[in-house]
Structure 1
Amino acid sequence: MAQLYYRYSTMNAGKSIELIKVAYNYEERGKHVMTLVPSVDNRYGVGVITSRIGIQREATIVNESSNILEMFIRENEKHSIDCVLIDECQFLKKHHVEELVEIVDSFDVPVLAYGLKNDFKNDLFEGSYYMLIYADKIEEIKTICWCGRKATMVARVVNGNIVKQGEQILIGGNDMYVSLCRKHYNDGRLGPDK
């Protein structure tokens, strides 16, 4: 029986490379996967899933008005889809997550969604919130803070300082965000000498 998986972590934990690996494993066995990425994540180009170590994979773009269920049905009519993979699922809307649920429940196709849980202010993203509600399996992909503890927070850094005000969605990479443990997120320390 298929399930909806939510695999979350802070930044730099390897979510995108894990997605690319899963897609490769399916395709190596002659299976068809549908890979999706929200249009808001255009750091490496539109419709591209990119790992920080440079591995890329093309993906179908999802925007606010996209109907993922309809997209899936169209692709599934061309060739049977064995798995749906989504990167940056925190940027999905409630209706997107409900459409993913419908794919799992009505078509018995597993859906694996990868993304952040909380933002730089430590609030849930809309997509994360509904993934936590609807997912059959919730799995944490772990990474570490500079101190060696498990990183659970994403800090936005401007001019070398942690900021906790601003728009929720501001696309950036290592130049703008750092993963920290709760202690160092709260005390604002970005390193042993900072």
Structure 2
Amino acid sequence: MDCGKSTMALQMNHNHARQGRRGLVTTRIDRSLGPQVTTRIGLAHAAVEVTDALDLRDLVRDAWAEGVRVDYLVCDEASFYNLEHIDQMADLVDNYDVDVYAFGLATDFRSCLFPAAQRLFELADEVARIQVEVLCWCGREGLLNARVVAGRVVREGRQVVIGDTVDTAEVRYQVLCRRHYRAGDLGGR
């Protein structure tokens, strides 16, 4: 959505690491090659790829068994995790004293909650909107992420399709205010 979620995730990891805390960075379906968190401003950090089979609690317990301290997890693209992963995050906080910071979109291209985001909202101790101001082409606050195919806003299809924000991408996403999202108006790009 070009609002700085992954940048904030990497900043969170950096700030905690500077204070001597040890953490793990995880991601799922990042647009880059290889298991890493990448940002559109050029930052990148190695990450553990979250698959359906991965149990986040086992990830932490395995690190502990190898003598690696884990104080926190930074979970990028959390909207693409499955519901079990979200419950595992809550378990890590409640029963293992591991801090968990999850970053992701709330809604998909149809403006419907991702199942993982809904579960995060149900269980999270705190939910905060990213403070980076994201604007629609008209200057209003950008609230929704439209999927654009062949120059048109589409409202049907698989919930998760990887794209980018550049005009040349086969599938791209454009942030719009509610008015222009509902109208399918991409402005004069």
Instruction: Say whether the fold is shared (TM-score over 0.5).
Output: yes
- Which residue matches 1:4? none
1:59 is the counterpart of 2:47 = yes
2:59 equivalent in structure 1: 71
Partner of 1:43: 31
RMSD: 1.3
- Contact 2:35 2:47 (8 Å CA) reproduced: yes
Counterpart of 1:157 in 2: which secondary structure?
strand
The residue that corresponds to 2:163 in the other structure is 172
Q: CA deviation at 1:76?
A: 2.9
Q: Deviations over 1:135-170 (max 9, x none)?
A: 110111142211221111110001111110111110
Unaligned runs of 5+ in 2: none
Q: Is residue 30–residue 37 contact of structure 2 (8 Å, CA) maintained in 1?
A: no
Which position in structure 2 is the counterpart of 1:16? 6
Amino acid at match of 2:24: M
For residues 122 and 26 of structure 1, the distance between their equivalents in structure 2, rounded to whole angstroms, comes to: 33
Which structure has more relative contact order (CA 8 Å, sep 6+)? It is 1
Q: Name the amino acid aligned to 2:119.
A: Y
Q: Following TM superposition, where does structure 1 have runs of at least 4 consecutive aligned residues deviating by more than 4 angstroms? A: none
Q: TM-score, normalised by structure 1?
A: 0.89
More strand by share: 1
For 1:64 and 1:161, locate their aligned partners in 2 and report how far apart those are by CA, in whole Å. Answer: 32
Structure 1 pair 76–148 and aligned structure 2 pair: CA distance change class (3 A): farther
Unaligned runs of 5+ in 1: 1-10
* Number of residues of Structure 1 aligned to a counterpart in Structure 2: 181
- Following superposition, the deviation at residue 42 of structure 1 comes to 4.2
Structure 1 position 125 matched with structure 2 position 114: yes
TM-score, length of structure 2 as denominator length = 0.91
